[in-house]
Structure 1
Amino acid sequence: MDSNAFIKDYLEKHQKLIHSLPQAKIAELISIYEKAWQEERQMFVCGNGGSASNASHFITDLSKAASDKMSKPFKGMCLNEHMSWITALGNDYAYEDIFVRQLMNFAQAGDLFMVLSVSGNSPNLVKAVKWAKDKGVYTIALVGGKPCQLADLADFVIALEETHYGRVEDAQMGICHMVCYAFIEKV
């Protein structure tokens, strides 16, 4: 294996993806979060695998670092963080219920619910977004470049022009950082 050629190719494709990010959509996403903050809405986020880690990182930055710079805190919750609850829900109901059952306890009409997914077809995310939409929760999906259920379901979608899991997850985290740093740096 030629590691140098691999790295060069990976970075070239990553840079192409970064340059293709939809800046106007990201600005709109920042505005969506600002409005929810102004209205003191709850903000939920989740994902699977690497997207779960990105969801956790995002809500930490939003609820801690961004909140530190604002006149009042963001009310954020990552649905990936409650391991005993997740395992109880998965065991007693089904794995596809691990997020929707948490939303049932907390989400109200007008709140935000963002999912991060590369495939955009995870049954647990799809089920949670469907429930949220039915209850008047505003839904957001950051997804990869393949046609997917979440892109068809969510109220607001940013679909990246890439299908490589690593690059999509890197770019999604970049978008999440832009949302948070817009508030941290008071853009």
Structure 2
Amino acid sequence: MSTAELIRLYLDEQRAVLAGFPVATLDAAADLLFRTYDAGGTVFGMANGGNAGTVDHFLCDFRHHPFVTEDKAKPLPADVPRLRFVNLCGSASELTGLANDLGPDEVFAAALAPFVRPGDLVLAFSGSGNSRNVVRALQVARDAGARSFAMTKGDGGRCRELADLCLVVPGTSAFPGQTGGNDNNFHFEDMVLSVNHILVGLLKQRVAARAPAAPAGSAR
């Protein structure tokens, strides 16, 4: 196939993923997020590899984007509750320290266990659904009485069994780099970022509908 044909293949596959996307599951995930925010709970996020970088994107967006006005010139009033978001894969020091002391399978579980509480929400992203460090942390979340949302592909793996809600990205791929054991992985990672943006936008709408207008003269 030519380069142009491969580009078209990728985009055609992506359209097929979008056409089959489980909207009802994401709708339910939004409800979990709203309930966590309304109750003053904390959202914890975790993933491996490139998706760990996307969880950092989640942190930036979830902490800040819903809490500015539409023109971004003014923050919402300080008494509008902010969402607490913790990136469990955000500290290289913590991750390497826990991996050295407890082993790589325990890095997220050990970082989560001292802090997670009932009413919190744990977000887990694993293409296979079987990443051992993610699976262990989902068990910790369940034992603590926290809610959990997992996003996977394929058959969902162990994450599908452990999470309260599991979104399985549909599809398969013939595009170079996401075949075989990595089947559909690029499209999965694309959808992780899309889920971030969808949830952040929905939360922004909910916050804006409930928040008073920002006072005059409060521009940053």
The structure 2 residue matched to 1:111, chosen from 117, 120, 124, is 120
Offset at residue 60 of structure 1 (A): 1.4
Aligned to 2:86: 77
Aligned to 2:105: 96
Counterpart Cα distance in 1 of 2:202 and 2:44: 19
Counterpart Cα distance in 1 of 2:67 and 2:139: 29
Counterpart Cα distance in 2 of 1:142 and 1:156: 9
Where do 5+ consecutive residues of structure 2 fail to align? Answer: 70-75, 172-182, 210-220
The structure 1 residue matched to 2:144, chosen from 135, 160, 174, is 135
* Counterpart check, 1:178 vs 2:181: no
* Counterpart check, 1:36 vs 2:36: yes
Aligned to 1:164: 184
Structure 1: which amino acid aligns with 2:40?
E
* Counterpart check, 1:47 vs 2:56: no
Counterpart Cα distance in 2 of 1:147 and 1:31: 21
Give the SS at the match of 2:113.
helix
Larger radius of gyration: 2
Question: CA 1:122 to 1:50, structure 2 compared with 1: closer, same or farther past 3 Å?
Answer: same
Aligned to 2:4: 4
Give the SS at the match of 2:130.
coil
Counterpart Cα distance in 1 of 2:160 and 2:88: 20
* Counterpart check, 1:124 vs 2:144: no
Counterpart Cα distance in 2 of 1:7 and 1:100: 39
Counterpart Cα distance in 2 of 1:67 and 1:52: 24
Give the SS at the match of 1:173.
helix
Counterpart Cα distance in 1 of 2:126 and 2:89: 13
What TM-score, normalized by structure 2, do the two folds share? 0.80
Q: What does 1:51-66 align with in structure 2 at a 5 Å threshold? A: 51-66=51-66
Give the SS at the match of 1:106.
coil
Give the SS at the match of 1:91.
helix
Counterpart Cα distance in 2 of 1:67 and 1:141: 25
Runs of 4+ in 1 over 6 A off after TM superposition: none
Contact 2:47 2:55 (C-alpha < 8 Å) held by counterparts: yes
Offset at residue 185 of structure 1 (A): 4.0
Contact 1:46 1:56 (C-alpha < 8 Å) held by counterparts: no
Instruction: Considering fraction of residues, name the structure with more helix.
Output: 1
Where do 5+ consecutive residues of structure 1 fail to align? Answer: none
Give the SS at the match of 1:43.
strand
What TM-score, normalized by structure 1, do the two folds share? 0.94
Counterpart Cα distance in 2 of 1:145 and 1:59: 26
Contact 1:96 1:127 (C-alpha < 8 Å) held by counterparts: yes
Contact 2:156 2:166 (C-alpha < 8 Å) held by counterparts: no
Aligned to 2:215: none
